[in-house]
């Protein structure tokens, strides 16, 4: 357990060290940054109707602008009360450490704001990854994008990319209520490097204070199983949604996220 925690800290060291050493305010040179050092809701890679037939355009509009966009607005409103935190800590570091007693105490974060940041900053990061991991329906082939190392890890754990997606669908279907299913990378070489885990609500595998040790790692691929992600088209049929959603996975982005994680970094949207 201690080895896993240490390895994860090392894997995130580049991100955390750069945030800690940056001059205030952090120049958020990334898709989620704004000139006044707040966060913006990242644009979708495709038009709202670009996810058909798996996800309808109304769902994508509401999901992006109302649900994810609302979370980003909430993050900015909370961080306005903590300018030192806002200007010196990246969103990825905040999500990784929110709720830890030493972190909350250092920045004087009130308990209710810590809870709110857990949910809203988690939502902002989760959705940023979710948008970026999807592409046009049934156009991305694993064989065209996966390098031998990642393909080998997937084959060892699930037999094939199809087996991985089947396991991810099963995990997503098993979530009680709202949450996410993830493909996670573990930096600890002493254990299997990849696993599928689930988190409730808007929790993220980066969250040291809120996620079980066995589920802590760097998310490479995540699927939203909140009802707002699928209800307009599929009603309560989450398994049908998941069966369609896997055809949106952008394997080039899965490989990119893996390469970043192995190097100890996180996607640039997590700035």
- Binding-site residues, in ranges, read 63, 127, 224, 228
Cα 58 from Cα 40, distance rounded (Å): 21
Cα 61 from Cα 51, distance rounded (Å): 11
- Binding-site residues for Mn(2+), in ranges, read 63, 127, 224, 228
Terminal-to-terminal C-alpha distance of the chain = 28
Assess contact for 146 and 161: CB atoms under 8 A.
Answer: yes
Assess contact for 144 and 255: CB atoms under 8 A.
Answer: no
Element housing 185 (H / E)? strand 179-185
Among candidate residues 248, 249, 265, 246, the one with its CA nearest the CA of residue 257: 265
Cα 92 from Cα 3, distance rounded (Å): 22
Torsional sign, CA 217, 212, 192, 242? negative
Taking phi over 0 as left and psi of -120 to 50 as alpha, with beta for the rest, 186 belongs to beta
Among candidate residues 117, 69, 53, the one with its CA nearest the CA of residue 61: 69
Torsional sign, CA 16, 21, 26, 31? negative
The alpha helices in the chain, defined as continuous H runs, are 2-11, 13-21, 57-62, 69-79, 83-88, 91-97, 101-106, 111-132, 142-145, 148-158, 161-174, 231-234, 238-245, 251-262
């Amino acid at each position: 357990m201690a080895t896993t925690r240490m390895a994860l800290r090392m894997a995130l060291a580049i991100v955390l060290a750069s945030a800690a050493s940056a001059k205030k305010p952090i120049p958020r040179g990334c898709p989620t940054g704004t000139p006044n050092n707040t966060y913006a809701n990242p644009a979708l890679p495709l038009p709202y109707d670009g996810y058909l037939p798996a996800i309808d355009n109304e769902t994508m509009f509401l999901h992006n602008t109302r649900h994810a966009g609302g979370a980003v607005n909430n993050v900015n409103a909370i961080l306005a009360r903590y300018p030192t935190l806002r200007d010196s800590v990246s969103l990825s570091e905040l999500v990784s450490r929110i709720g830890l007693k030493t972190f909350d105490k250092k920045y004087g974060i009130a308990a209710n704001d810590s809870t709110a940041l857990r949910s809203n900053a988690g939502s902002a990061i989760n959705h940023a990854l979710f948008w970026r991991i999807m592409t046009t329906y049934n156009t991305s082939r694993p064989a065209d994008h996966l390098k031998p190392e990642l393909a080998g890890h997937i084959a060892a754990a699930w037999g094939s990319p199809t087996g991985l997606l089947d396991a991810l669908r099963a995990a997503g279907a098993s979530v009680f209520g709202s949450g996410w299913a993830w493909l996670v990378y573990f930096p600890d070489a002493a254990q299997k490097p990849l696993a599928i885990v689930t988190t409730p609500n808007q929790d993220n595998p980066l969250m040291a204070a809120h996620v079980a040790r066995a589920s802590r790692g760097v998310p490479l691929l995540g699927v939203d199983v909140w009802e707002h992600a699928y209800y307009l088209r599929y009603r309560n049929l989450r398994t049908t949604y998941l069966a369609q959603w896997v055809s949106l996975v952008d394997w080039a982005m899965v490989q990119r996220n893996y390469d970043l994680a192995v190097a100890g970094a996180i996607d640039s949207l997590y700035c």
